[in-house]
Amino acid sequence: MTSALHLNAVVLPGSEPTDLWIVDGVVTHEPVAGAETLVTGAFVLPGLVDAHCHIGLGVEGGVDDDTARAQAAADVAVGVMLVRDCGVPRDTRFLAEERNAPRIVHAGRHVARSRRYIRHAAAEVEPEGLVEEVRRQARAGDGWVKLVGDWIDRSVGDLAPSFPAEVVREAIAVAHDEGARVTAHCFGEQSVAEIIEAGVDCIEHGTGLDDEHIAMMAERQVALVPTLINLANFPVYAQQGAAKFPRYSAHMLDLHARRHETIGKAVEAGVPVYSGTDAGTVIKHGRTIDEIEELARVGGVEFALGAASWRARTWLGADNLSEGASADLVVYADDPRRDLSTLHRPTHRILRGVLLTDD
Ligand SMILES: [Zn+2]
């Protein structure tokens, strides 16, 4: 047994200071004799969440164990303690045993159309193989399947849905039968519309959302993880395709130009929006605070903090420092609601009840 810790702090989203104790990895609100007082008058966030992250993925596909460890540590360093993996080509479950790695909700491999995604990243199938592949990935993951809903189709020179809508509908139903939720990468208008209508549970990026489908998401409480810091790269993707695929390039620039408006409308409509960085290939690990700052631009500071902490944790089935919950939390001297830059200066990070150090 490790020695018990005591904290006196405002636990967000609350506003009154409370006392909590940490013993044997879990939180209790009952005083523990002999506990060491770590802080008084502090502010605590339930461990941050990266709801779209790829620990174990690099630009060349799956990375080795040490690289995956370093990616995980970079996320933990900024206070991320829960990750929804959004597809990796290798098994990263060894990280569950490691001190400096967040909890990970695994999604198996991305499921993409053959030759229509980043090379070496996805399980690639043709439409006739989609349903079986989704079933396989549903069984491999922790309750999530990741579909690549659209990508550039070189034969049309623009974004296009990866799979026919009817096959996607059947695949989503199979995932649900297997007890898994389905999320889909969607940049353009057509794929996001078809996939929402097909009963998906979550949308990644969502730049092609129109008012009608935003309303549908709000009504069905379909989640949205926009990954705003990745959307900021659309001009780079547009530039890469400009010479050979001018339609695609112009399309990406248009989606980029209206991204804050589109995501802002979803927030306004009551779509549950969560913080995700898309770290893994283009985006480096450890950028969650940048994403929170971007989310604050579209929905305000309290919204952005909830999207990266307590609301996202509830969505993913994690506790928020209730009695007996795993002690996964970040401590700050000041209230991050007053100044988001406080997030860059945690005084303590505690994961599974263990006080982390930077070494
Ligand atoms: Zn991703």
Which residue has 């420092």 as its token pair?
Answer: 321
Residue 286 has pLDDT above 70, yes or no: yes
- Does one domain contain both 303 and 328? no
Residue 315 has pLDDT above 70, yes or no: yes
Give residue-wise pLDDT tens across range 9-19.
999 999 999 99
- Does one domain contain both 273 and 328? no
CA 211 – ligand 1 centroid, Å: 24
CA 231 – ligand 1 centroid, Å: 11
Rounded Cα–Cα distance for residues 235 and 255 (Å): 10
Per-residue pLDDT at 357: 85
Give residue-wise pLDDT tens across range 63-88.
999 999 999 999 999 999 999 999 99
CA 268 – ligand 1 centroid, Å: 24
- Does one domain contain both 217 and 350? no
CA 185 – ligand 1 centroid, Å: 7
- Does one domain contain both 243 and 342? no
The helix/strand/coil state of 263 is helix
Residue 321 has pLDDT above 80, yes or no: yes
CA 122 – ligand 1 centroid, Å: 11
CA 341 – ligand 1 centroid, Å: 26
CA 280 – ligand 1 centroid, Å: 7
- Does one domain contain both 93 and 225? yes
CA 48 – ligand 1 centroid, Å: 18
Mean pLDDT of the chain: 96
- Does one domain contain both 198 and 275? yes
Query: What sign has the CA pseudo-torsion 112, 114, 117, 122?
Result: positive
Which residues have their alpha-adjacent CB atom under 5 A from ion ligand 1?
86, 278
pTM of the model: 0.97
CATH of the domain at 158: 3.20.20.140
CA 278 – ligand 1 centroid, Å: 4
CATH of the domain at 33: 2.30.40.10
Q: What tokens appear for 109 in the block?
A: 């491999």
For helices 301-308 and 288-299, the axis angle rounded to 10 degrees is 140
CA 184 – ligand 1 centroid, Å: 10
CA 319 – ligand 1 centroid, Å: 25
- Does one domain contain both 340 and 304? no
- Does one domain contain both 124 and 41? no
Residue 2 has pLDDT above 70, yes or no: no
CA 230 – ligand 1 centroid, Å: 9
Residue 358 has pLDDT above 80, yes or no: no
- Does one domain contain both 138 and 286? yes
Residue 350 has pLDDT above 70, yes or no: yes
Give residue-wise pLDDT tens across range 219-266.
999 999 999 999 999 999 999 989 999 999 999 999 999 999 999 999
Rounded average pLDDT over 92-105: 95
CA 333 – ligand 1 centroid, Å: 33
Q: What tokens appear for 238 in the block?
A: 């547009």
DSSP string, 127-143: GGGHHHHHHHHHHHSSS
DSSP string, 309-350: THHHHHHTT---S-TT-B--EEEESS-TTT-GGGGG-EEEEE
Rounded Cα–Cα distance for residues 129 and 119 (Å): 19
CA 117 – ligand 1 centroid, Å: 11
- Does one domain contain both 242 and 218? yes
Rounded Cα–Cα distance for residues 87 and 116 (Å): 15
CA 52 – ligand 1 centroid, Å: 6
CA 35 – ligand 1 centroid, Å: 42
Residue 271 has pLDDT above 80, yes or no: yes
Give residue-wise pLDDT tens across range 142-197.
999 999 999 999 999 999 999 999 999 999 999 999 999 999 999 999 999 999 99
Containing 65, the helix (H) or strand (E) segment is: helix 65-77
Per-residue pLDDT at 359: 58
Rounded average pLDDT over 335-339: 98
What total number of domains does the chain contain?
2
- Give percent of the chain above pLDDT 70: 99
Q: How many CB atoms lie within 10 A of CB 190?
A: 16
Q: Tally the C-alpha atoms within 13 A of residue 95's C-alpha that lie toward its C-beta.
A: 30
- Does one domain contain both 72 and 134? yes
Which residue has 């999207």 as its token pair?
Answer: 307
Per-residue pLDDT at 120: 84
Per-residue pLDDT at 121: 87
Range of 283's domain? 48-315
CA 55 – ligand 1 centroid, Å: 10
CA 140 – ligand 1 centroid, Å: 18
Confidence label for 294 from pLDDT (cuts 50, 70 and 90): very high
CA 334 – ligand 1 centroid, Å: 32
Which residue has 């129109």 as its token pair?
Answer: 210
- Does one domain contain both 234 and 329? no
CA 86 – ligand 1 centroid, Å: 6
